[in-house]
Amino acid sequence: MKLLVTGGLGFIGSNFIHNILKNRDWEVVNVDAEFFGSSHHNLEGISNPENYTFVKGNITNRKLIDELVSECDTVVNFAAESHVDRSISDANPFLVSNIRGVFTILETIKEKRKKLVQISTDEVFGTIMKGSATEKSCFNASSPYSATKASAELLINAYITTYNVDAIITRCTNNYGPHQFVEKLIPKTIGLCRLDRKIPVYGTGKSIRDWIHVQDHCDAILTVLDKGKSGESYNISGSNEIDNVTIIKKILKLLEKSEDRLQFGEERPGEDLRYSLDSSKIFNELGWRPKINLDEGIEKTVNWYMSHDDKWWDNIPEETYSSTPWKNKA
């Protein structure tokens, strides 16, 4: 098996490549544009480096994608602009990467008759006040980011129906773990604690997210590669629904910091109050379940970041720590 992994220098993509090279005798070609949040540090110490190739490039480059897909069996598409705050300040890069990029991949796999696994998000369903979203639930995207991911899903489903392309969609809840860029909640909280600063909390901090360790997510994607049915979608969740301020308090406790540093402020525009996925389909049909306990996973994550001072905390732009990052100039 030879995989083309797009966006493999980012958080989830790099963890997935580590997983594949450690557990499978597969070749991996990683194409990444080296945009915001990408880092070659994420892939230091990979297993079986002879099975790994890096190509710098953008998924909107049709000629490049044609060449790379021709040499591979399956595309796993992680490449995406993925931070809600930045999508609010400037949506254009999200439209280019998350829609145009997916269109380019689809055109290529249609012609080359290859397989696509698209990595999507629970955010396409928007706020779920009661129950949990199934694979059949309607989209209700709230942010430019989630709207572009929902658009990509619609485009993929159209290509499945119209052109019979071989594609599967996975949607996952909030990931955490090593190699996540500092703009996201958990590493940002750790970073601010290191700097002995206040921790900004959006609104009341009561927005609920379902947290899953990135290793569990990567195992789920591998399960979909092995057992998933073409044309289907699979929800992936960690069954750890918890509000944001409680996550922050867990980190403060681990770092022996006072809750006095919590600083409640503005609510983010269009903030979703609760995300929740029903993962019964992947549980029952493919036999996957998450393994990592939330408290154990957060403790390991905090320890990882605190032991990587030199590579993770140097040269972090000051605006990354903003209490209102959606107001940052693009």
Encoded amino acid at 263, one letter: Q
Q: What is the pLDDT of residue 75?
A: 98
Helices 185-194 and 294-306: crossing angle in degrees, nearest 10, is 50
Entry field: residues in the chain: 330
CB distance 32 to 8 below 8 Å: yes
Q: What is the pLDDT of residue 311?
A: 66
Q: What is the pLDDT of residue 318?
A: 86
Bridge pairing between strands 166-172 and 27-32: unpaired
Sign of the torsion formed by the C-alpha atoms of 52, 153, 97 and 121: negative
Domains of the chain with CATH codes:
2-176+212-236 (3.40.50.720), 185-208+240-327 (3.90.25.10)
Query: C-alpha distances in angstroms, 311 versus 1, 237, 303, 329?
Result: 33, 30, 14, 26
Task: Tell me the two tokens of residue 173.
Answer: 């809840």
What is the chain's Cα-based Rg? Answer: 19
Q: What is the pLDDT of residue 50?
A: 97
Residue 268's nearest CA partner among 122, 120, 94, 127 is 127
CB distance 304 to 178 below 8 Å: yes
Q: What is the pLDDT of residue 313?
A: 78
pLDDT tens over the chain, length 330 residues: 999 999 999 999 999 999 999 999 999 999 999 987 889 989 999 999 999 999 999 999 999 999 999 999 999 999 998 888 889 989 999 999 999 999 999 999 999 999 999 999 999 999 999 999 999 999 999 999 999 999 999 999 999 999 999 999 999 999 999 999 999 999 999 999 999 999 999 999 999 999 999 999 999 999 999 999 999 999 999 999 999 999 999 999 999 999 999 999 999 999 999 999 999 999 999 999 999 999 999 999 999 999 986 667 777 888 888 989 888 865
Burial class (CB in 10 A: 0-12, 13-18, 19+), 188: buried
CB distance 305 to 190 below 8 Å: yes
Q: What is the pLDDT of residue 200?
A: 95
188/199 Cα distance (integer angstroms): 9
Active site residues: 122-123, 145
What one-character-per-residue DSSP string does 87-130 give? HHH--HHHHIIIIIHHHHHHHHHHHHT-EEEEEEEGGGG----S
CB distance 195 to 260 below 8 Å: no
Q: What is the pLDDT of residue 40?
A: 92
